Amino acid sequence: MKNYETIVIGGGAAGIVASISAARAGGSVVICEKMPQLGRKILASGNGRCNLLNDDLRPEFYNATARTLVETIFRKFNKSRMLSFFENLGLKTYSREGRIFPVTNQAASVLKVLEMELQRLSVPVEYNFNCSAISSSRSGIIVSSQDGKEISGTKIIITGGGKTYPAFGADGNIYEIARTLGHTIIEPIPCAVPLVVKDNLCFLLQGQRILARVHSIIDGKTGESIQGELLFTRYGLSGTCILDVSEEISLALHRQHKNDVSLVVDMVPFMEKEELRNIIVRRRKGKVAAEDLLAGILPNKFGAVLKSIPEKDDIDAIITSLKERHFKISGTRGWNEAEFTGGGVAVAEVNPETLESRIKKNVYFAGEILDVNGKRGGYNLAWAWASGWVTGLTG
């Protein structure tokens, strides 16, 4: 049986940085990766561009239960240190609207410099290692794989979390392993995910993108208003504003099992109701065809909006349909299309300074396996880098 000081479960963003951190501290390290390649999710991040982090990493951009933990970890490995880390690896970056990317605009560049550092530090990788159990021994901890391999060590860092992109090996089995160690798992839910809506308008406008402002209504309570791109699809709604509003909706549907969940869409956020009314009234007086009343305001396909209004001669009904269109949300598109996972190991069960388990000594957690999730814009990768770095140093 091979023996190392530190065993890292998962070769994603958090796992790679944890391994580099531990190896630089002088210990022997091995990465146990389920897939035949490291960093598959890194390659998919930011639509293949890899949004490394954000200029503004305040804890408010993370789920409420995790903010104290996030703040503590970011004090140890903040934005400046993250940028220095990648700069020292030879990766050049730039910032656009607060989001930080590699100058190559290629996620492959990020993965490459990380792999080069692993090679420089002589960190071995056990590929196709599907962790099935973690047990104690007289000398420390034994990690077993489904095909019977065993590796022993004195410290283990569990980073193989999340259920998004199951094709990359994210099947959630690591949550069950954490549970066998005594940890509480906050039910994982898909975040930054398209929404399922049974509305003929979505079918009529499928493929159409517009600027919109949206907010949720859950059990009568109005959520935060968010503006961005909206994409109509054959199954419902997507686009940046939908992804940004989806977490609270996914939480209500999947974890709280609520039925009264809807989305209100303003399809003309750049115009007030009165201005829109004046244009429609003027065009009506000019004998403009009904399907052309919105020409120059919305794409031509939006003649379908008017046809979908029962009283299409009622100007108030038209304006309400455009400015306050209600969509009943019946579900989300699930793990294949979600960008992030909400939920995981309860943050109260780890030491906020080291991320060591409060239940099992010498077991640490980093990255998406913890109940920490941020908004879109580099926040989740920033958490992966920071939590990975901190766990690698301790022990």
Q: How many of the other CB atoms lie within 10 Å of CB of 25?
A: 14
Q: How many of the other CB atoms lie within 10 Å of CB of 66?
A: 21
CATH architecture, range 2-189+341-393:
3-Layer(bba) Sandwich (3.50)
Amino acid 325: pLDDT: 94
Phi-psi region of 208 (alpha: psi -120 to 50; beta: other; left: phi over 0): beta
Amino acid 46: pLDDT: 86
Pairwise pLDDT comparison (207 vs 166), residue with the higher score: 207
Q: Which of 310-324, 333-347, 375-389 has the least mean pLDDT?
A: 310-324
Is 315:281 a contact under the CB 8 Å cutoff? yes
For residue 100, give the H/E element and its range.
Answer: strand 99-102
308-338, pLDDT tens digit by residue? 665 556 888 889 989 999 999 999 998 999 9
Quote the CA–CA distance of 53 and 42 in Å, as a whole number.
12
Quote the CA–CA distance of 281 and 278 in Å, as a whole number.
5
% of the chain with per-residue pLDDT over 70? 97
**Helical H segments across the chain, by residue range:** 13-24, 40-44, 67-76, 79-88, 107-120, 173-180, 200-204, 240-250, 273-285, 303-307, 315-323, 379-393
Predicted TM-score (pTM) of this structure: 0.93
Q: Which residue in 167, 68, 176 sits closest to 132, CA to CA?
A: 176
Quote the CA–CA distance of 341 and 192 in Å, as a whole number.
8
Average confidence (pLDDT) over 364-371 = 97
Quote the CA–CA distance of 363 and 7 in Å, as a whole number.
10
Q: Which two tokens stand for residue 224?
A: 């935060």
Query: What b/e sequence results for 28-44 when a residue is b if at least 16 CB atoms lie within 10 Å of its CB, and e otherwise?
Result: bbbbbbbbeebbbbbbb
**Helical H segments across 123-272, by residue range:** 173-180, 200-204, 240-250
Q: Which residue type occupies 162?
A: G
Pairwise pLDDT comparison (350 vs 302), residue with the higher score: 350
pLDDT confidence band for 230 (50 / 70 / 90): very high
pLDDT confidence band for 349 (50 / 70 / 90): very high
Phi-psi region of 334 (alpha: psi -120 to 50; beta: other; left: phi over 0): left
pLDDT confidence band for 169 (50 / 70 / 90): confident
CATH 3.50.50.60 domain extents, the chain:
2-189+341-393
Q: How many of the other CB atoms lie within 10 Å of CB of 207?
A: 9
Per DSSP, 350 falls in state B
236-290, pLDDT tens digit by residue? 999 999 999 999 999 999 999 999 999 999 999 999 999 999 999 999 899 888 8
Expressed in percent and rounded to 5, the helix, strand and coil fractions of the chain are 35, 30, 35
